[in-house]
Amino acid sequence: MTLERARRSAALPVALALVVYLVLGYGVGRPFGEAGDPTYFIHAGQAYRAPEMLPPDAFIETSTGYDGQFFFYLAQDPLLTGKAATRDQETSDHIDNVAYRYQRILLPLAGWLVSWGHPSVLQWTLPLLNLAAVLAATWLLAVFLRSRGRPTWAAVAFPLSMGVVVGVFNDVSDPIGAALFLMGVLWWLDRRTAAAVAALTACIFARELYVLPVAVLAVAELVRSRRAALPWLIPLAVFGAWQAYLRLAFAASPTEGSHGPSAVPIRGVIEKVRTVVREDLVGAANWELAFLAFVLICWAYFAVRAVASIRAHGRAPTREQVFPLVGLGALFLFPFLTDELLANVPSYTRYAAAVGGLLVIAFGLWGDAMSRFLLVGSTGLLLFNPIVAVLPTRHQGLVRPPAPLSPQESRAGELARCIEAAGVVARRTEDAPPGASVVTLSTSGGRAGSVYVFGDEAAARKFHEGLRGFVGPAGDVELSGSVIVSWPRGAEAADAGAVTGCLG
């Protein structure tokens, strides 16, 4: 293959990305002694574990795990028949927030269709669905670059961007959502309305984050062509209907319990920087600050381009001139992320899953030095990221397979399920006194209570005496064998009765 043919080949960046993913995928489990094991992508945790819904000998983290486990469980119960959860549950044994997780139904539904809900098949097909969508978008980006006379190798910046790689190796829906969004934008630029509308509608079912740039695109089309723009309202109408259904059919709103944006831009980033400086962190923290700076620069890049386009073209811009607004819409929420979200690398990098692809499109449209610089920066950040090892490393994994549950942990889990079934919100918590497991309660009147489960009655009696003195007249503390129930004074009798019934 000559250099010129390689420069124009749409297959080359796809092949390169595929090789990189195969190498990375094989290496994900190596620190834990199981190279190439796809169950590491699930990130199942003890708190929501479902042994009957996991492949044999699946890796289980010692903590709560990560979001991929919820997609994995929903892909085996997309109709919510009770295996993973039901519609009348705010939370279940295996799903932390049923309505919130279910709104991103595209990946679980696709996973169920290609595996029929069998966990041993699903462990492979779920990440492969994400990868297939990413590679398809990469090919379209390469074709777009070739049509603009740009080197197609730049398309590799999308599959090798941080948010996409982290998403694929965590079994979450951000990669397929970003891929569909980018495909929709490319088809929009290419005047292929039907394909673009379908892709933009689908991406919202993968990640509701993309409703903002899709809305920007629809408004721009309304300004440009009015009646001819009506098809571009379809994604927003479908999204609105889907959200209305979730609010009517489920026990809680899909936004309840989710991380809302900060009202003050950059506040979370400033807190992140202060944490790094205060704790004198090195290594991963340096990379985190570099990544945050990179995304904010991308945000500013599209913002400046958008303002310049509005000033220059007013009410009659072309689609190419509207694109900076769409790119800004896709990244708009990033400066408003809270310090809570910014504490977790996989969580906040997912908000920038589309940034690599947006930069590729920008490079194709304008070919400016800034887009080239940002494309190189995106790939460079991936090489040194602290989550998925790209370069050779000798670091050993910090996560170990969980130890067997103690008797009090098993008992606390049983009580939580029984109390939840009786109509009282009950959740396990790791904040417990030594030798005990705790279930936190929330009454129908909004009051909080706790159930402490000890391994022996002597320890329970000792803690009971101290707790009574601490609570005083403000609450009721009852001892039943090795179990202590703490209620606020005047708690609802029905709630108290439900808990008492579960204690037997």
> For position 370, what pLDDT does the model report?
96
Q: Where are the alpha helices (DSSP H) in 192-283?
A: 193-206, 211-225, 234-249, 267-279
Distance of CA 248 to the CA centre of its chain: 24
DSSP H or E run through 303: helix 284-313
pLDDT the model gives residue 329: 95
366 plus 428 within the same structural domain: no
pLDDT mean over 440-455: 76
329 and 474 both lie in a single domain: no
Residue 421 has pLDDT above 70, yes or no: yes
Q: What is the pLDDT of residue 18?
A: 95
Mean pLDDT of the chain, nearest integer = 85
- List the one residue out of 455, 458, 456 whose CA is nearest residue 407: 455
Q: Could you read off the pLDDT of 132-184 as tens digits, one per residue?
A: 999 999 999 999 999 999 999 999 999 999 999 999 999 999 999 999 999 99
pTM listed for this prediction? 0.78
Among 381, 160, 390, smallest CA distance to 289 is for: 381
Q: Decide: residue 280, CB within 10 A, 0-12 exposed, 13-18 middle, 19+ buried.
A: exposed
Q: In the prediction, which pLDDT does 401 show?
A: 45
Give me the pLDDT at residue 395, please.
42
Closest CA to 330 of 239, 224, 211, 233: 211
Residue 357 and residue 437 in one domain? no
| Residue 478 shares a structural domain with residue 348 | no
Q: Quick one: pLDDT band at residue 320, thresholds 50, 70, 90?
A: very high
Q: How far apart are CA 387 and CA 438, in angstroms?
A: 31
Considering the domain architecture, whether residues 412 and 371 belong to the same structural domain is answered as: no
Contacts of 295 (CB under 8 A, 6+ apart): 331, 334, 352, 355
Identify the pLDDT of residue 475: 67
Can you give the residue range of the structural domain that contains 21? 3-383
Do both 444 and 299 map to the same domain?
Answer: no
Domain count, the chain: 2
Do 373 and 414 sit in the same domain of this protein? no
Same domain? For 271 and 361 the reply is: yes
Q: Do 375 and 480 belong to one domain?
A: no
Contacts of 94 (CB under 8 A, 6+ apart): 48, 49, 50, 53, 69, 70, 73, 84, 85
Q: Are residues 39 and 130 in the same domain?
A: yes
CATH number (domain holding residue 455):
3.30.200
* Same domain, yes or no: 338 and 457: no
Bridge-based pairing state of the strands 448-454 and 44-45 = unpaired
For residues 407-418, give the mean pLDDT.
80
Is residue 152 in some structural domain?
Answer: yes
pLDDT of the residue at 496: 72
For the chain, what percent of residues have pLDDT higher than 90?
A: 47
* DSSP alpha helix (H) spans, 314-455: 319-331, 345-349, 355-366, 369-383, 407-421
Residues 306-310, mean pLDDT to the nearest whole number? 89
Proportion of the chain above pLDDT 70, given as a percent: 88
Name the phi and psi angles at 91, rounded to 5.
Answer: -140, 155
Pairing of strands 483-488, 475-480: antiparallel
